[in-house]
């Protein structure tokens, strides 16, 4: 099934690679409940939903696509769900309505993945805008990490924010956790982020900042299946004009997964000589199916995790690596009470947000800064996202500015027709919706 000999690997190496990938990305089962619970979703619900969508998406990648790539709820998308959709509505949109937009985005994503349109959409977006979206999300979630820890706080003067009390327990523990984890990463320790969270959690426990009453319990979904009816979900989107939200979920997940998948596949030597991704359509269905199922149970959109590259570096070449990751995530479902306790302490999860933000902004090195018609749209995307706490607003400003500047420069033919359509839709969203 996995063609181990053909890929010059063996079962032992693949399972060790799966363990490596699991350790580098298992932090998501702690961070995701921490973020989505702020939107009102029960922490236990998010925990199990995270595992269900991760297991299904990753098993798909392993058994159907035969890729050593793991799928899980994407960082940045969970923050967008909580802060830009639910909290920004000031009570008008609850998490059930927000999950309707994730559900519909997932269904649309499945259709796109079954056709060639997904590839055409990727090619239509200029490379610089793709890089800016990833970098902007990185700034956004790093900002959230600094803010939730108390390192920066709302300003009482004319500035938006200011430095918080660095002597507060939360800020001190966050700074320790950040430095300790980064040192482990510099030393190339496998699972550095997860180990950093555990060590920070131990310190929090002895400092009376963390209370653990129970460690293990049978997996359960407090609210059962949240979303299953596409018609009802579409009705919510129309009622609350969540078209831009759906589009943003699709767009960000599209770039996240495609970029990660190509990068990890290249690292694993799976790209053909013609530069094409084998079994591409099967692989691209993984995140869309996981996103749809994740919304049904209670989590934000899923994407391919760049942490899969750690498993590839450890020798993973086939779907057996992904299957190992899925089995380990399934086993972790029994540790719900412990995860719930850890995710309730901001100082434990904040360093992860800052570190992942730093990793995401590294894409900015690929941007062409040589002309203002390329520079300004990129700058607007990166600036607007953290300032407005909205990924979709940042994308909108960039996608509106880009075609306008290209037309002004006389290079309107270089802009894909889809981009003009997106620009008009974003103007309508910002002005009228």
Please provide the DSSP assignment of 161-199 as one string: EEE--TTSHHHHHHHHHHHHHHHHHHTT-TTHHHHHHHH
Of 4-13, 119-128, 374-383, the one with minimum mean pLDDT is 119-128
- What are the tens digits of pLDDT across the range 353-365? 999 999 888 888 8
Residues 6+ apart with CB under 8 A from 205: 212
Residue 275 is predicted with a pLDDT of 62
130: confidence class by pLDDT, cuts 50, 70, 90:
confident
In whole angstroms, what is the distance from residue 232 CA to residue 238 CA? 10
Residue 409 DSSP code:
T
Confidence at 273, pLDDT banded by 50, 70, 90: low
Type and span of the H or E element at 73? strand 71-73
Q: For residues 211 and 344, what is the distance between their CA atoms, to the nearest angstrom?
A: 9
Give the span between the Cα atoms of 368 and 100, in whole angstroms: 37
Q: What is the pLDDT of residue 384?
A: 93
Token representation of residue 202: 């131990």
Which DSSP letter does residue 310 get? Answer: H
Residue 248 has pLDDT above 90, yes or no: no
For 279-320, write each residue's pLDDT tens digit. 878 888 999 999 999 999 999 999 999 889 889 988 899 999
The C-alpha torsion from 375 through 396 and 392 to 100, rounded to 10°, is: -150
Tokens of 426: 């974003």
DSSP-assigned beta bridge partners for residue 73: 302
76 alpha carbon, distance to own chain's centre:
5
For residue 238, pLDDT over 70 is answered with: yes
- Tens digits of residue pLDDT in 4-41: 888 888 999 999 999 999 999 999 999 999 999 999 99
DSSP code for 414: G
Q: What span, in angstroms and rounded, lies between the C-alpha atoms of 357 and 382?
A: 12
Least confident segment among 153-162, 190-199, 340-349, 383-392: 153-162
Residue whose C-alpha is closest to residue 18's, from 337, 360, 328, 384: 328
CA separation for the pair 61, 40 (Å, rounded): 31
Do the strands 71-73 and 152-154 form a parallel or antiparallel pair, or are they unpaired? unpaired
Q: Which two tokens stand for residue 381?
A: 């995307």
What's the rounded Cα separation, in Å, for the pair 406 and 419? 11
| pLDDT for residue 31 | 95
Q: How much is the mean pLDDT over the chain?
A: 90
What distance in Å separates the CA atoms of residue 177 and residue 14, rounded to the nearest whole number?
Answer: 31
What does the pLDDT average to over 154-162?
A: 78
Query: What's the pLDDT score for residue 368?
Result: 85
- State the pairing for strand pair 161-163/71-73: unpaired
371 touches 126 (CB < 8 A): no
Closest CA to 129 of 327, 377, 389: 377
Supply the angle between the helices 11-25 and 192-206 in degrees, to the nearest 10.
50
The reported pLDDT for the residue numbered 265 is: 82
The most confident of the ranges 109-113, 132-136, 404-408 is: 404-408
CA distance 294 to 288: 10
26: left (phi over 0), alpha (psi -120 to 50) or beta: alpha
Q: What is the pLDDT of residue 105?
A: 95
Q: How far apart are CA 375 and CA 218, in angstroms?
A: 52
Q: Tokens 């040192």 identify what position?
A: 183
**Is the pLDDT reported for residue 276 higher than 80?**
no
Residue length, the chain?
Answer: 433
Give the position of tokens 């802009």.
Answer: 415
Neighbours of 57 (CB within 10 A): 32
The DSSP letter of residue 326 is H
Is 59 in contact with 323 (CB distance < 8 Å)?
yes
161/218: higher pLDDT: 218
């Amino acid at each position: 099934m996995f063609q181990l000999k053909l890929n010059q690997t063996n079962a032992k190496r693949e399972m060790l690679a799966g363990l490596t990938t699991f350790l580098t990305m298992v932090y998501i089962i702690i961070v995701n409940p921490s973020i989505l619970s702020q939107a009102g979703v029960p922490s236990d619900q998010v925990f199990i939903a995270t595992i269900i969508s991760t297991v299904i998406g990753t098993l798909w990648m392993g058994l159907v696509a035969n890729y050593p790539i793991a799928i899980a709820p994407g960082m940045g998308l969970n923050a967008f769900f909580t802060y830009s959709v639910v909290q920004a509505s000031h009570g008008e949109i609850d998490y059930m309505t927000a999950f309707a937009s994730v559900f519909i985005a997932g269904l649309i994503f499945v259709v796109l993945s079954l056709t060639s349109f997904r590839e055409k959409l990727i090619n239509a977006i200029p490379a610089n805008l793709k890089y800016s979206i990833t970098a902007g999300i990185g700034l956004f979630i790093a900002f959230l990490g600094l803010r939730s820890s108390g390192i920066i706080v709302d300003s009482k003067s004319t500035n938006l924010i200011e430095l918080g009390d660095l002597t507060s327990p939360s800020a001190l523990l966050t700074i320790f956790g950040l430095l300790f984890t980064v040192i482990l990463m510099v030393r190339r320790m496998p699972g550095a982020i997860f180990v950093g969270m555990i060590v920070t959690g131990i310190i929090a426990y002895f400092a009376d900042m963390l209370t653990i009453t129970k460690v293990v319990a049978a997996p359960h979904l407090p609210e059962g299946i949240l979303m299953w009816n596409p018609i009802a979900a579409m009705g919510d989107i129309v009622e609350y004009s969540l078209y831009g939200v759906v589009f943003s979920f699709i767009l960000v997940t599209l770039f996240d997964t495609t970029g990660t998948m190509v990068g990890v596949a290249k690292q694993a030597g799976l790209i053909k000589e013609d530069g094409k991704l084998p079994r591409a359509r099967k692989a691209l269905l993984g995140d869309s199916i996981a996103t749809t199922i994740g919304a049904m149970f209670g989590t934000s959109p899923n994407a391919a995790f760049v942490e899969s590259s750690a498993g590839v570096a450890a020798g993973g070449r086939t779907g057996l690596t992904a299957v190992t990751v899925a089995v380990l995530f399934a086993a972790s479902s029994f540790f719900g009470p412990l995860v719930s306790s850890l995710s309730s302490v901001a100082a434990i999860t904040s360093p992860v947000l800052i570190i992942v933000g730093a990793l995401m902004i590294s894409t900015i090195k690929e941007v062409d800064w040589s002309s203002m018609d390329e520079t300004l749209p990129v700058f607007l995307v990166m600036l607007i996202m953290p300032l407005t706490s909205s990924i979709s607003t940042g994308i909108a400003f960039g996608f509106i500015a880009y075609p306008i500047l290209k037309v002004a420069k006389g290079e309107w033919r270089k802009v894909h027709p889809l981009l003009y359509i997106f620009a008009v839709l974003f103007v309508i969203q910002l002005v009228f919706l």
